[in-house]
Amino acid sequence: MNKKILKAGILSLLLVVPVLFIVFLNSGKNQYKVARFADEQGNPLEYLMDETGKPHVLPPFAFTDQNGKPFTNADTKGKIVIADYVFTRCQTICPKMSTQLERVQQAFESEPMVVLLSHTVDPEFDTVSVLKNYANLHGAIDGKWFFLTGKKEDLYKQASEGYKIVAKEEASGPDAFVHSDRVVLLDTQGRIRGYYNGTETAMIDTLILETKILLSELKK
């Protein structure tokens, strides 16, 4: 009987604590802060700095979305950005990452301050129409989740110099592409605020929570 009571008590705590945390988070009194920057190895820094000693921000870019429309950094101005790199021929981590981003999109479907950007690492194959089909496969909402293509060198440069992640082609064929499994969170000023393994549900849960925290900071 005591063991049953103990199990019931533990189960109650597991159910109640997350609810209390969210209530606490939304009460305006919480002190929880999203890390300003943590690299792919998890090393925390105040902010990622550029060569001039100023906080690193996402550089200007110009790509094309799954509807064939131009998409530039002007379209992300003042918005929280959640970004990754995938390619439609990928049969390993990409389907998992895109499936996890479906959950992120659902969490912020009615929040105009949050946009999702999935960049292709294989632009020669991932044409606008191919990306459109892939976007539809994952239920991408127009104006919320953008699948971006462009010049290969521009996409790779944005990965390495903008998001500070890997995206490159090492050989030829559908298995030649290498890219990070990380999803990147950027605040409304274009500063990197976190990296999250895009294949792990628990990490994407953290991404969703920390995005909500950034949103709460904006609304104070």
Tens of pLDDT along 49-97?
A: 666 767 789 999 999 999 999 999 999 999 999 999 999 999 899 999 9
pLDDT for 118? 98
Q: If DSSP states are collapsed to H, E and C, what string results for 100-143?
A: HHHHHHHHCCCCCCEEEEEEECCCCCCCHHHHHHHHHHCCCCCC
Same-domain status, 203 and 117: yes
Same-domain status, 75 and 97: yes
Same-domain status, 126 and 66: yes
Q: Work out the mean pLDDT of the chain and round it to a whole number.
A: 83
Q: What is the pLDDT of residues 156-205, one digit of tens each?
A: 999 999 999 999 887 666 667 889 999 999 999 999 888 999 999 999 99
Pairing between strand 182-186 and 177-179? unpaired
Same-domain status, 65 and 160: yes
Same-domain status, 43 and 151: yes
Q: Which residue has the higher pLDDT, 81 or 29?
A: 81
Same-domain status, 92 and 110: yes
Share of the chain above pLDDT 70, in %: 74
Same-domain status, 6 and 101: no
Same-domain status, 121 and 13: no
Number of domains in the chain: 2
Domain that holds residue 195: 35-218
> Which of 18-22, 108-112, 166-170 is most confident?
108-112
> Which of 24-33, 73-82, 211-220 is most confident?
73-82
Q: Which residue has the higher pLDDT, 108 or 176?
A: 108
Q: What is the domain-level CATH number for residue 127? A: 3.40.30.10
> Residue 41 — very low, low, confident or very high, per pLDDT cuts 50/70/90?
low
Same-domain status, 89 and 25: no
Q: Residue 183 forms beta bridges with which residues?
A: 196
pLDDT for 3? 52
Same-domain status, 61 and 127: yes
Among 115-119, 134-138, 170-174, which is the least confidently predicted range?
A: 170-174
pLDDT for 177? 84
Same-domain status, 2 and 85: no
